[in-house]
Every structure is written in structure tokens, then in C-alpha cells.
Structure 1
Amino acid sequence: MLFGDKSLFAIECEVTEQLDEWDFGHIIFWFCNNAVGNWEDSTDLRGCLNWLNKFSSQVCNRFEDALEGLNKESVFKLLYDSVIFTGTSEIKEKPKFEDIFSRFHISHLGMSSFEQFDILLIEQQNGQQRCLWRHADSNEINECYLPKKEMQRVAMHCCIWLKENVNSGGNVVE
């Protein structure tokens, strides 16, 4: 099932197997016509539902004035490399912002399907969303700009469908 517009932001997912308390399936994100995630991975869709539900329903401050106008490499250095040990970096300087991981990192939304991707979401002063990602095998950083709250809007539609199609019967952890 596809939610959203691949040319902006979309979530594609399907349920493939339901065993007792488990709902397995596939999930990927589409950012500006770029697939992000591993469609071949079979992940716990109830886990994805819980994360997507929290993401779409809880307000989070993803704006930092100092990030406005920075190139994508600088943003990744500040928001990803400053808090995640990559094994190739030297000793890092102290992170410049509060709660970087919880505010800007969103790879967890797709559970194991996004294990090979580093995904960040920041918001501009005008509310526009800026998504940045890279594959673990590459240093190439990609980015996509979206309308205000576009990711949350699409995630909410995906959650409605998932609640109807996974064994949880809508019992989502808030």
C-alpha cells in the first residue's frame, strides 16, 4: 500500500505474514522519488506502527536557527556525526544542540528496514521540512524538502491503515 506522493514523501508498506502476536511485512520511505529502506527486509510492522503513531501525533521541536542555510554535509556532521560513533571519526566535539538524537534522528521509524540508512529530519523557520539521508555503504548525503508537517500527515494515514491490518487490533502504545 502506498501513502503519500513518491515525488514528495510517501510510505510504502505491506503485511506479508501474521503469526500469533507478530505482524511482519515490508516498509520503505520515498523522499523526492528516492526509495529509502530495504524492501526485502521483513520487519515487525507493529513496531513500525508504534513509532509512526508517536511520530505523527507528538509535537517535536526540530528547528534550530543555526541549521538554517547550512549545506547537507555540515548538517550531517552536526546532527549525526556528533552523536553517533562511526568508527572512522576522531574524538568528537561536544554536540551543539540539546537532545539531538531524539529530535532529529528518524531511522527508527522503519525498524530493521532502515538499518542501513541514517535519516535526519529538520524543520526550517517557515515550517518546511528538510530530510537528509545516506546509505551506510556510502558517504553521499541526499536531501529532500517537503511542505510543513508533510511527513507527519503521511505517517498518520499509514497508521490508520496499519491499525486496521495488523493483529494489534488498534492497541497502539502511546
Structure 2
Amino acid sequence: MHRQHAFTLLELVVVLALIGVILSFARLSLGDGGAAARLEQDARTLAAALRLAHDEAVLDGREFGLRLAGDGYDFMQLSGKTWRPLTGRQPLRARRLGAGQQLTLRVDGYPVALAGSLDGVDRPQVFLLSSGEATPFCVAVESREQRVWQVCAQADGEIAVTAPGVAG
């Protein structure tokens, strides 16, 4: 009687498990699981929201502000003498950053300390005025891996996004 030489089910399972582990390590060493793309998307989303708020400020004659914290941001509108968060406005809604990301702010070239969360901030740090003017500022969207996307506004309201490694 001839005995067939074949792999057992257990041997196949062990080999497949090893291949899975090896591929997982390869993915971790070669990529960041999309973190770089999320960081870029967060910076571009902020820039688009800033452009929208700037345009609405000019067209509607309203004053907007951007309130920032280390973990996110939201937009506010001046109502009388009080700044109120915008609610129910999808493009300008409050946003929280993903895990491992944070914001830093520079106004007129000077660093501004940000609270850890928006709960401790009662007014905006930067302004988008109905005259078309804006507070000159740069917001850095940073990751633990030291990638930094810059979103900067000039006094005339011009907003630019700068990629990591590119001088702004």
C-alpha cells in the first residue's frame, strides 16, 4: 500500500498563520495604515472650511472666528457682543482630530498656547471679518510621526495649505 504524501490541515493552518503574521509586519514597516492620508485630509478640510467661512463673512456681512484646541476646532459667529459656536452647519461644524494628531497655532508668527479641548475655550483665537480681512495665522496639523501640514491665512484672507517638508 502506497502512502500519499500531502500536507495535513494543521500544517496548512500553521503556514497560513505565519504568512499572515509576516504580512502584518511588512504592512507596519512599509505603511502607516493611512495616517498620512488622514492628516492631509484633516488639513485640507480645515482649509476648505476656512475659505467657506471667509466667503460667507464677506458675502453675508457677518463676523466669524475660529476657535482652536489641541484636539480640534470649531467656528463661531459674533452675535451682538457675544461669540457663539455655529451649530447645525455641516461644513463649519466642530471637528475633532484623530488619535495621534494635534493642532498648534501661530498668530502673526508668535506661538499661541492652546487648551487641550474646546470645552475650556470661550472665544475664537483668529477672526474672519466681513471686510475680507483675517487674522494672519498658521495652524499646524501634526502627527506623532512628526508629519506636519500647515494651513495658513494671510491678512487679506488668502488661505494656503503646505505639505510636510515644504517651506511655507
Pairwise TM-score range, normalised by the shorter structure: 0.3 to 0.5
Between the two structures, name the one with larger relative contact order (CA 8 Å, sep ≥ 6): 1
Relative to the length of structure 2, the TM-score reads: 0.33
Relative to the length of structure 1, the TM-score reads: 0.32
**Greater Rg by CA:** 2
